[in-house]
């Protein structure tokens, strides 16, 4: 399972200066509802199609981020962003008006982790840029139409299916020292475990998360217990239990410190979301709204954030292709 992977440990760690989040109605009704900065109960964010609504959501997250940081958007040197729509078009539509130098990413639901990783690298180049933002979004209705069936069809969902979050998260990173530092980053590998069921993405992503965590801990000569929290993106119920199984075979136990954003976002008892949440915006909004304040406040001192992505497309599914997983690692530290 192990493979060569170089971990970049920053000699002068970049910082998270501010975070912002915005969600739809279902997410606002979930257990974390009160922690998000903004929600639209109708999920439309002022747009006339679900696809455009996601673009508007990206814009809302970005403008909230600038407001919370009291930061002029013209000072942002690089914008790392992406979403789940074909060709990441929600991102380019929604963030274009700000005119920020843009680097489009596609890491499926792991895009938030990929963005934090790349922003941290960009901010660590001698003589390089000073401020970078990371914005990722997803929208339930746009994702269902694109990957599965339009909502109007009223398709039955399988028990392992996940609910793409209508959510977005944003981060402003810089070189000055704040209470949240990016200690180290490691990109994920593409891991194919032979899954072909778009309604079981947890199973497709869990092996990638296991692969990354084992590789990271081994190479840094650390144990899971060295971290206060190991946060995965959106494995949800199904994927989280597969992750435990894979790790425990290798003697790594994380159940007492593992959190999965896909499990936290909804109330399984009251909300009909099957295995749990997924989507680019799931891990981004939960990290921004729920975990970042705890790292900032020192309640969590060392955290591994492992967003998880399922790499597939509507046409690859139609042609019977496998769904591969990927999971980049971002180590976040409380700076006293």
Tell me if residue 20 falls in helix, strand or coil. Answer: strand
User: Which of 242, 244, 219 lies closest to 230 in space, CA to CA?
Assistant: 244
Interaction site with a copy of itself (CB under 8 A): 3-6, 8-12, 49, 51-52, 74-75, 77-78, 82, 84-89, 92-93, 95-96, 99-108, 114, 117-118, 121-122, 124-130, 146, 186-190, 192, 311-316, 319, 321, 324, 326, 328
User: Which of 124, 126, 274, 142 lies closest to 200 in space, CA to CA?
Assistant: 274
Q: Give the residue with the Cβ less far from a copy of itself, 14 or 169.
A: 14
Q: How far is the CB of 298 from a copy of itself (least distance, A)?
A: 26
Q: Give the residue with the Cβ less far from a copy of itself, 229 or 331.
A: 331
Pairing assessment for the beta strands 309-311 and 162-164 based on DSSP bridges: unpaired
Q: How far is the CB of 12 from a copy of itself (least distance, A)?
A: 8
Paired with 208 in beta bridges are none
Q: Is the four-CA dihedral 4, 330, 104, 262 of positive or negative sign? A: positive
User: Which of 33, 31, 30, 29 lies closest to 21 in space, CA to CA?
Assistant: 33
Q: How far is the CB of 198 from a copy of itself (least distance, A)?
A: 12
Q: How far is the CB of 77 from a copy of itself (least distance, A)?
A: 4
Q: Give the residue with the Cβ less far from a copy of itself, 5 or 301.
A: 5
Q: Give the residue with the Cβ less far from a copy of itself, 65 or 324.
A: 324
Q: How far is the CB of 222 from a copy of itself (least distance, A)?
A: 17
Q: Give the residue with the Cβ less far from a copy of itself, 3 or 156.
A: 3
Q: How far is the CB of 166 from a copy of itself (least distance, A)?
A: 17
Residue with tokens 């475990």: 193
98 vs 92: CA distance, rounded Å: 10
Q: Is 288 exposed, middle or buried (0-12, 13-18, 19+ CB in 10 A)?
A: buried
Q: Give the residue with the Cβ less far from a copy of itself, 20 or 117.
A: 117
Paired with 219 in beta bridges are none
């Amino acid at each position: 399972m192990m493979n060569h992977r170089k971990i970049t440990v920053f000699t002068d760690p970049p910082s998270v200066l501010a975070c912002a989040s915005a969600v739809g109605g279902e997410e606002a009704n979930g257990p974390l509802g009160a922690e998000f900065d903004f929600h639209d109960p109708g999920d439309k964010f002022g747009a006339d199609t679900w696809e455009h609504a996601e673009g508007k959501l990206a814009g809302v997250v970005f403008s909230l981020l600038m407001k919370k940081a009291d930061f002029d958007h013209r000072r942002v040197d690089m914008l790392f962003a992406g979403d789940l729509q074909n060709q990441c078009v929600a991102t380019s539509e929604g963030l274009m008006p700000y005119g920020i130098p843009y680097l489009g990413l596609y890491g499926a639901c792991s895009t938030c982790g990929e963005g934090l990783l790349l922003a941290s690298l960009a901010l660590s180049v001698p003589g390089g840029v000073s401020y970078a933002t990371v914005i990722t979004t997803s929208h339930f209705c746009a994702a269902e139409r694109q990957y599965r069936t339009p909502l109007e069809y009223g398709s039955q969902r399988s028990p392992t299916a996940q609910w793409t979050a209508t959510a977005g998260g944003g981060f402003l990173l810089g070189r000055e020292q704040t209470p949240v530092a990016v200690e180290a980053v490691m990109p994920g590998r593409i891991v194919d475990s032979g899954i072909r069921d778009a309604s079981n993405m947890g199973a497709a992503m869990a092996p990638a998360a296991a692969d990354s965590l084992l590789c990271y801990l081994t190479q840094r000569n650390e144990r899971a217990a060295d971290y206060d929290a190991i946060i995965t993106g959106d494995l949800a119920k199904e994927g989280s239990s597969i992750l435990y199984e894979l790790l425990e075979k290798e003697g790594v136990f994380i159940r007492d410190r593992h959190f999965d954003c896909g499990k936290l976002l909804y109330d399984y008892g009251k909300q009909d979301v099957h295995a749990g949440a997924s989507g680019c915006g799931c891990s981004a909004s939960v990290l921004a709204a729920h975990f970042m304040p705890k790292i900032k406040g020192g309640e969590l001192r060392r955290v591994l954030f492992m967003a998880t992505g399922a790499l597939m497309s509507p046409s690859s599914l139609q042609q019977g292709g496998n769904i591969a997983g990927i999971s980049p690692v971002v180590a976040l530290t409380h700076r006293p």
